[in-house]
Each structure stands twice: as C-alpha cells, then as structure tokens.
Amino acid sequence: MTVHDIHFSARGTTASYARAVCTAIGLPTISSNWLRREERREADISHDDLLVFSMPVYGGFIPALCRDSAVLLLGHDTPAIIVAVYGNRHYDDALVQMRTLLEERGFTVVAGAAFVARHSIFPSVAADRPDDDDLDEARSFAKRALESIGRTGRLALPGREDHDSLVFKGSSFHPCGDDRCIRCMACAGICPTGAVDRADPRMSDTSACISCGACIDVCPVSSRGYHDEAYRAAETTFAAKCSGRRKNEIFLL
C-alpha cells in the first residue's frame, strides 16, 4: 500500500499535521502540497492505496482553490483519511465538504479529524499549536484510522450536508509589502493564485489573493505582512473571542 499525502499548506501547520499522520502510518508515502502549482496534478489512486487529504479551514470550508482542484483526484473505492486544520475558531462544514468531494471522486472516507493550529491570518490565536500533545493525538488518530479501512458504512461527521461553499467570499485582509521590499520576487513565486503584482511586488490583486500568508513567510526581509490599522483592531477582537483552547476531534468508521 502506498500513501498519497495530498495537502494544502501555506504557513506550515497543515503540513505538520499531515506529516505526523503519514509518519505514524509508516508506509511508503508520496507527498504533494497543492500550494505549489506544479504539485496540483492528476492522481489516479488505486483501491489498494490510501489517500490522506489534509486541508486548512478557510471560512468554514476548504480553500476554494482546493475544492476546485478535487477534480484532479480519481479513486476506485479507495480509502481516504481526511484532516481539517483550523485556527481555533471552528471547522464548521469543512469535514462534510471534504467527504462529499472525495466520495464524488471515487473514495471512501474511513476517518476524519479536525485539528487546531495557529491562525494564519491572526497568528496570536493558538500561537503555539500544534504542540507536542496535538502531534501525539495526530499520530494516535492515524493508527486508529488504519484500523477503519475495510469497514462498511458512511462516516458520520458534524456539519451541514446542504452547505453552500460558495458563500465564503474571502478575508477582507490581504498581505502587502512595505518599503523594506527588495523586489526579490519570492512572494510572487510562492503565491498559489498569482496575485502578487510582478511590476510592483509590494502590491497584490486583492480579488485573486486568498490571504493564505505564504508570501509573508517566504519574504527574506519581513516586508510582507498585514500593515493596516483595521487589521490590528480586528486581530485584538478576534483573539479575545477565540482565546480558549479548543480540542482536537476525531471521527472513525
């Protein structure tokens, strides 16, 4: 059995959970991060293999780019484990959405988890997560999920079946560069939607930007970030609302 680890991770937390799950499974693994355009490619995954599909939660769903990329996957009643990684607010309909997308593509979802991580827009929220306890939980989830392969039935998950994932219109905050920008174009290279202006990389097309934050982490001079006043006020309010430690949740067939 080969494990196909397909995730989207802009700021690393979803990748950390995907790595913990796949390492605990301990089988040969092929990993793709859909952040990178060249890693968003067709994957025809045999019945005898396993898909581990790990996505961050954006507005209660998976990122629209990932929803639309699900057509690249083809299963043959292939078992799948789904992992939704969220920033300590809620994962809402993301797990149900992932199950539906994968069922439509020929997969059987045998286990799901919602794991908490640092919020990628407001990084003071759940700042130190995933921590060692979280990653232990991810590893133990992986072992239990393996035991679910071959069981029959439909995995029960919280969330609405009749959700409309098109309702999330994106964040109102978008990273940009300031006068420290050295025009190295690293931000333009990493941006999954090509939103960074190549003529003036301090600017982004806010209608294309998905606020994933990959450009912030790749900037070698810390030029990119959320520089406006409204953002600072929103972070304070959001951090106050989401200050309690939320628990990880797992669901098994």
Ligand X SMILES: Cc1cc2nc3c(=O)[nH]c(=O)nc-3n(C[C@H](O)[C@H](O)[C@H](O)COP(=O)(O)O)c2cc1C
Give the interface with ligand X as residue ranges (CB under 6 A): 9-15, 56-60, 85-90, 117-121, 171, 211-212
Q: Return d(Cα 8, Cα 235) in angstroms, integer.
A: 24
Of 103, 64, 58, give the one whose Cα is nearest residue 82.
103
What's the token pair of residue 48? Answer: 């005898």
- When the beta carbons of 87 and 159 are compared against ligand X, the nearer one is 87
We find the least distance from the C-beta atom of residue 179 to ligand X, in angstroms, to be 25
Nearest distance from C-beta of residue 35 to ligand X, angstroms: 8
User: Shortest gap between Cβ of 190 and ligand X (angstroms)?
Assistant: 12
Which residue is closest to ligand X by CB?
A: 87
CB 75, CB 51: distance < 8 Å = yes
| Closer by beta carbon to ligand X, 47 or else 241 | 241
| Amino acid occupying residue 200 | D
Q: Which residue, 51 or 210, has its beta carbon nearer to ligand X?
A: 210
> Shortest approach of ligand X to residue 86 CB, angstroms?
4
Q: At what angle do helices 132-148 and 13-25 cross, to 10 degrees?
A: 50
Nearest distance from C-beta of residue 61 to ligand X, angstroms: 8
Q: Give the integer Cα–Cα distance in Å for 226 and 223.
A: 10
Q: Is 229 exposed, middle or buried (0-12, 13-18, 19+ CB in 10 A)?
A: exposed
Is 29 or 193 the residue whose CB approaches ligand X more closely? 193
Closer to ligand X by Cβ: residue 175 or 177: 175
- Could you give the CA distance from residue 245 to residue 89 in angstroms, rounded to a whole number? 10
